[in-house]
């Protein structure tokens, strides 16, 4: 890393001044903030061309893998890191790369009551992702409002957007790659299905307790206790712990307060996203069928 103007030699091979990578005050051979090599001769003729590589998607992602929670918040609070939007878009691109084969491979039950044309089935598969993106946007606004309300640490929405982008770019490829592996390659139960099964099981049990509705606990447990379902549930819990962890650290909030707050926000956002997906899909299909673009 090339040290910017104002540096001076303080010892043999040692420099002092401002780090050209992160902008922090630095002295010695390495930046104490980001670890960049401050010696002028460290990269030879490459010079400043190496600097963008240090903040590229693969390098930042590998740094986050070492310490996901601490690393995410550190990058969010690093004023010199400005590539957070491109980091999120790169993560979304990888998400689409893995999730598209999964979505297009979904199968509609072929019983006598289901009659779906190929064009309508394709439309249903595409629109199924509307809930995911709508839920993500809703989660952002609900989470910011809730944590801003209950936290004593004032945070601007721009600062939280930076944290959200970094977290999204980090978790989206993991979720999609796992779904591709388990659902597409192993024909198992993915994380999305596990979350739906958990919601259905909890709702069924509550209706059974409060209204005496029929509830087959053995069937519910059998669906949730398959090897791939257990692995998927573990991934969901791990991602939830990560999300709670970065919010707790970013908002300076105790975990007992951050955990139920984030779980409530994410649950509400997922439900709203589901209904948005349903209504968007319903009216989109109705319009396209009326125009003759899609057949029933």
Q: What is the pLDDT of residues 227-256, one digit of tens each?
A: 999 999 999 999 999 999 999 999 999 999
Mean pLDDT confidence for 181-192: 89
Q: Using CA atoms, how far apart are residues 254 and 269, in angstroms rounded to an integer?
A: 22
Query: Mean pLDDT in the chain?
Result: 80
What's the rounded mean pLDDT across residues 125-140?
Answer: 81
pLDDT for the residue numbered 177: 95
10 Å Cβ neighbour count for 162?
A: 23
CB-based contact 71:63 (threshold 8 Å): yes
State the Cα–Cα distance between residues 236 and 199, nearest whole angstrom.
Answer: 13
Q: pLDDT band at residue 10, thresholds of 50, 70 and 90?
A: very low
Give the other-Cβ count within 10 Å of 231's Cβ: 19
Closest by alpha carbon to 131, among 277, 283, 267, 285? 277
pTM above 0.75, yes or no: yes
pLDDT of residue 6: 43
| Range in 6-20, 191-205, 260-274 with the lowest mean pLDDT | 6-20
Cβ of 262: how many Cβ atoms within 10 Å? Answer: 24
Q: Residue 125: in which H helix or E strand, if any? A: helix 118-127
Judged against a pLDDT cut of 70, whether residue 12 lies above it is answered with: no
Higher-confidence position of 6 and 87? 87
Look at 11-20, 71-80, 171-180 and tell me which has the smallest mean pLDDT. Answer: 11-20
Strand order in the sheet with 25-28: 8-11, 14-18, 25-28
- Name the most confidently modeled range: 12-16, 22-26, 54-58, 153-157: 153-157
The pLDDT tens digits for 40-64 are 544 454 555 555 677 789 999 999 9
Query: 């509400």: which residue's tokens?
Result: 268
Q: Tokens 């659902």 label which residue? A: 183
Q: Categorize the per-residue pLDDT at 112 as very low, low, confident or very high, splitting at 50, 70 and 90.
A: very low
Q: Is 55 exposed, middle or buried (0-12, 13-18, 19+ CB in 10 A)?
A: buried
Structural contact between residues 102 and 184, judged by C-beta atoms closer than 8 angstroms: yes
């Amino acid at each position: 890393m090339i040290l910017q103007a104002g540096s001076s030699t303080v010892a043999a091979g040692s420099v002092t001044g401002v780090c050209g990578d992160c902008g922090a005050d630095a002295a010695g051979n390495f930046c104490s903030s980001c670890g960049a090599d401050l010696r002028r001769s460290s990269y030879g003729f490459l010079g400043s061309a190496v600097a963008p590589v240090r903040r590229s998607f693969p390098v930042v992602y590998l740094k986050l893998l070492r310490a996901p929670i601490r690393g995410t918040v550190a990058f969010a609070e690093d004023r010199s890191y400005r590539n957070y939007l491109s980091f999120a878009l790169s993560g979304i691109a990888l998400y689409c790369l893995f999730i598209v084969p999964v979505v297009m491979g979904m199968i509609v039950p072929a019983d006598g009551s289901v009659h779906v044309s190929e064009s309508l089935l394709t439309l249903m598969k595409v629109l199924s992702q509307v809930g995911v993106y709508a839920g993500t946007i809703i989660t952002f606004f609900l989470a910011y409002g809730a944590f801003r309300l209950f936290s004593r640490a004032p945070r601007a929405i721009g600062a939280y957007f930076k944290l959200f982008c970094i977290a999204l770019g980090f978790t989206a490829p993991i979720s999609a790659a796992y779904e591709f592996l388990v659902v597409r390659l192993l024909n198992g139960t993915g994380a999305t299905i596990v979350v739906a099964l958990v919601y259905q099981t909890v709702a069924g049990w509550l209706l059974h307790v409060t209204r005496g509705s029929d509830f087959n606990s053995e069937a519910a447990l059998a669906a949730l206790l398959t090897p791939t379902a257990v692995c998927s549930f573990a991934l969901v819990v791990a991602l939830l712990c990560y999300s709670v962890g970065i919010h707790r650290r970013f908002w300076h909030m105790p975990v007992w307060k951050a955990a139920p707050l984030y779980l409530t926000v994410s649950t509400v956002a997922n439900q709203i996203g589901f209904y948005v997906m349903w209504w968007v899909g319903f009216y989109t299909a109705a319009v396209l069928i009326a125009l003759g673009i899609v057949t029933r």
